[in-house]
Amino acid sequence: MLLDHLEELLDQGASGAVVDRLNSGLIGGLLSAPDVGEWMSRVIDAESHRFRIARVEEDWETVLQSVDNIRILLSDPLQVGLEYSPGEELELPARDEILLWWSLAELDRQEEVLALYRLLRRSTLDDLSEEQRIAFRHLAERFNNSEALRRLEVSDTDEPILPEVTSADLLAGTVTVWVNRGMRISGGVGVPDRVIGSGFFVDPRGYVITNYHVISSEVDPTYNGFSRLYVKLPGRSTERIPARVVGYDRVFDIALLKVEIDPPIVMSLSDVRRLVPGERVLALGSPGGLDSTITSGIVSASGRRFLQIGEAVQIDAPVNPGNSGGPLVLPDDGQVAAVVFAGIPQFEGVNFVIPAYWIRHFFPRLFTDGAIVHPWLGVSLHEGSRGLTAVYVVPGSPVQRSGVQVGERLTHINGVAVSDMIDAQDLILGGRPGSLVVTDWIDSSGTEVRRLLALDQRPFSPVEDAMKSQPIEELFPVLFGMNVDELAGSLFGPDYVITDVLPGSIADESSLSVNDPFSLRNWHVDRDARAAFIQIVIRKRKAGFLETGLQLGAYLETNSFL
């Protein structure tokens, strides 16, 4: 049965699903090492065929993914004694070589901004020809990209020629994003419904970065009202220039717009991995529609995990409604360090930004992909003193197909040790659905287990997606940080006993503990608040088992999924 299923998957071109099932078959004793080796050879053949077709068609993204996958497979990560003999000679180009081809192809397509970003993914720029170096330096100067200028210097002793960019220059590249949503009724009276945000030019052909929530009515299929999108240039508040949405990412709250104008200046996204608390920054935008506004401040804190993936940064620079989507720049070189996004309701008066480092993971795809889809493994992990522990495995996900069990600890991704969610998500975002990753786990017996997984497409809201097919109690570990067992013989509703409480979780902060029994009286999901709530009657051990009513709430968009 398993072999027939593998054959069917391979015929469908689902190499990733085949790899996932080879893991579970090997670990579960359903397949021998020679069997797995034979199947892996067939997967290599399929990836090699895909690589050759993509190279002829100059589909460089597929070329890069296939070459990476083949190299991982040839390394025999499952240690099954793989002996692969290709049917024809197979020469795999180096990753840097493919990225250069891709970058030059973007130049031929006149996608100059994308050409520069593709180039910067290379490990080195020292091997460029003088002609290529000059061409890319001109682009870097035009786009005010100090990272590219530094890396394109001929020698380490040369001082990079950084663009001289003033605050006035940056303001000229910052726009007001204005969405007319017709009229809404308030107190029985019709009032104009307007959404105001900010944005900034990232391409000389009129492409603008802003927040998704500013323009959501333009692309959200659940929105049925009137919506018209415009951009207003600095100092020209009476002119409304029509714009359209090219690409968007709901997870990171980012959107790319197209306006038919030639911008006076283009800004570049910084490569800074993490902003340092105390570092000076400038916020540009249109608070309340007041264009050409600059406020200054410092980075207050980094590593705030309010997004489903990655991190947010807290700043003390004054920003207000209308600043959303505007750039946060580093005053020394004018690079965009982050994008301002709306304040979080439970932190009134505290301001946050999305680091440009995370946006760079998917920035080029905003130009072509429409709605951005991120890769994932399909597991919720708890970050604790013992590292990353699986608390929920998504049915049908790569980790579920490969046999990962709740309680296993993830230790390495592609040979890189991981102990926190931020670094793990950073590594996963470097791939695409279909990319292979080597993961190392420690199971409940303390045994190290290596699994080769193929990344899959991540749903926008994994919790909400799971609720469609699973009872709420299955998601208690993800939402509230507690594992439970159901008690038999309940007369008035489902009764449970807590079997585990995750440190730092909602259950832990609510003083719940192991062996506390409770009855689930009600639960509901507030779609507007993006939160799930349960009402329970619990007998806390810490309170002498006195019966009390308690409501627990958790946001649907949690940062625990990988």
Q: Are residues 294 and 321 in the same domain?
A: yes
Q: Which one is catalytic: 20, 68, 203, 253?
A: 253
Torsion of CA 399, 404, 405, 408, to 10 degrees: -110
Residues 6+ apart with CB under 8 A from 408: 389, 390, 441, 442, 443, 444, 449
Cross-strand partners of 561: 380
Where residue 544 sits, what CATH number does that domain have?
2.30.42
| Residue 173, in any domain of the structure | yes
- Which burial class, exposed, middle or buried, applies to 85 when counting CB atoms under 10 A from its CB (0-12, 13-18, 19+)? exposed
Extended strands (E) in 152-240: 174-186, 189-203, 207-210, 228-232
Q: Are residues 390 and 334 in the same domain?
A: no
Domain count, the chain: 5
Q: Which one is catalytic: 213, 361, 374, 382?
A: 213
Q: Which two tokens stand for residue 112?
A: 């100059």
| Residue 83, in any domain of the structure | no
Q: Are residues 449 and 468 in the same domain?
A: no
| Residue 84, in any domain of the structure | no
Q: Are residues 379 and 363 in the same domain?
A: no
pLDDT (0 to 100) of residue 87 = 67
Location of structure tokens 């199971």:
443
Q: Which domain holds residue 21?
A: 2-74
Q: Are residues 467 and 393 in the same domain?
A: no
Can you tell me the distance from the alpha carbon of 414 to that of 75, in angstroms, rounded to the nearest whole number? 12
How far out from the chain centre does Cα 486 lie? 35
Q: Are residues 479 and 547 in the same domain?
A: yes
| Residue 561, in any domain of the structure | no
Q: Are residues 381 and 354 in the same domain?
A: no
Angle at 451 between CA 447 and CA 454, to 5 degrees: 160
Boundary residue ending a domain (395, 424, 457) = 457
Boundary residue ending a domain (424, 457, 490) = 457
Q: Are residues 387 and 435 in the same domain?
A: yes
Q: Are residues 66 and 110 in the same domain?
A: no
Helix axes of 130-142 and 112-119: crossing angle, nearest 10 degrees: 120
Q: Are residues 17 and 106 in the same domain?
A: no
| Residue 311, in any domain of the structure | yes
Angle at 559 between CA 219 and CA 521, to 5 degrees: 95
Cross-strand partners of 547: 539
Boundary residue ending a domain (109, 130, 151) = 151
| Residue 297, in any domain of the structure | yes
pTM over 0.85: yes
CA 511 vs CA 106, 321, 498: distances in Å: 56, 37, 12
Helix axes of 33-57 and 15-27: crossing angle, nearest 10 degrees: 170
Q: Which two tokens stand for residue 361?
A: 């993971």
Q: Are residues 342 and 386 in the same domain?
A: no
pLDDT in tens, the chain (562 residues): 777 778 888 888 788 888 888 888 888 888 888 888 888 888 998 999 999 999 999 999 999 999 999 999 999 998 988 888 776 677 899 999 999 999 999 999 999 999 999 999 999 999 999 999 999 999 999 998 989 998 998 555 555 555 577 888 889 999 999 999 988 777 777 778 899 999 999 999 999 999 999 999 999 988 888 899 999 999 887 889 999 999 999 999 999 999 999 999 999 998 887 889 999 999 999 998 888 899 999 999 988 888 899 999 999 988 888 999 999 998 877 889 999 986 666 666 778 999 999 999 999 999 998 899 999 999 999 998 889 999 999 999 999 988 899 999 999 999 999 999 999 999 999 999 999 999 999 998 889 999 999 999 999 999 988 888 888 889 999 999 999 888 876 666 678 888 999 998 898 898 888 988 888 888 888 888 888 898 988 888 776 667 788 888 888 888 999 9
253 in active site: yes
Dihedral of alpha carbons 178, 184, 187, 191, sign: positive
| Residue 396, in any domain of the structure | yes
| Residue 110, in any domain of the structure | yes
228 phi and psi, to 5 degrees? -135, 130
Q: Which one is catalytic: 103, 292, 302, 324?
A: 324
Numbers of helices and strands, H then E, in the chain: 16, 25
213 in active site: yes
Q: Are residues 472 and 406 in the same domain?
A: no
Can you tell me the distance from the alpha carbon of 562 to that of 550, in angstroms, rounded to the nearest whole number? 30
